[in-house]
Amino acid sequence: MKKILLIGVLLSTFALWNCTANPSKNTAVMTDQEILKSVQSNDVAAVSRALQAGADANTTDREKRSLLLIATHNSGIEMAELLLKYGADVNQQATNLDSAFLYAGASGQTELVQLYLNHGARFDMFNRYNGTALIPACERGHVATVRLLANTPNYPINHINRLQWTALMEAVVLGDGSAPFQQIVQILKDAGADLNIPDREGITALQHAQKMGFIEIAKILQ
């Protein structure tokens, strides 16, 4: 009897040790809703446990927003790095065609843009305006992001969106002519942007700058 009890104690001890040594075997996989909520609240520890337990790093919500896109909306660099470690796709697009890479560019999150470039960001996937990450970055005056993308090898700096505008055109037409937009125009010019691509009315960026009274920008473009 003592021998049987001793064996039982040893088996129980081994089982307890095994669970402690292998916590992932004793951790339930989060539901999609739970991991979405954890990413939204930037709970890195909880998401890390879930991914270790087998949760899908490319889980999406009802609008097809990926975990990585949600993390990007929250400027969650640590969360983004964690998700990428477990195979998150920087090019996965939501219903509105946003991806983590496209949104990072549009919102001027240069560190995330660089991170996503390092993890396979594609240049042939476009937003709902058929635009690149660079075009809205130019429109919104995100100088550092523009500098990074414009100088990335093989980046489509002269891409024309659905409005028939290039990144340069948006910097001029939708900018206010202030110093950040002057810098952006100079960056694009130095990076080899075609200064003569017109809009659908045949008007060039230079002509728009002159018409709008953006003297400094016009000087750069002349």
Q: What is the CATH number of domain 123-222?
A: 1.25.40.20
Q: Which CATH class is domain 31-95?
A: mainly alpha
Tens-digit pLDDT profile for residues 108-118:
999 999 999 99
At 213 the pLDDT is: 98
Distance CA 114, CA 90 (A): 11
pLDDT bin (cut points 50, 70, 90) of residue 28 is low
- Asked whether the predicted pLDDT for residue 20 surpasses 50, the reply is no
Instruction: Give me the percent of the chain exceeding a pLDDT of 90.
Output: 86
Look up the pTM and report it.
0.86
- Adjacent-strand bridge partners of 66: 60
On the question of a common fold for 31-95 and 123-222, the answer reads: yes
More confident residue, 115 or 4: 115
Tens-digit pLDDT profile for residues 120-165:
999 999 999 999 999 999 999 999 999 999 999 999 999 999 999 9
- Element of type H or E holding 30: none
Report helix, strand or coil for 23: helix
Tens-digit pLDDT profile for residues 48-62:
999 999 999 999 999
Domain locations along the chain: 31-95, 123-222
- The packing angle between helices 32-40 and 44-52, to 10°, is 150
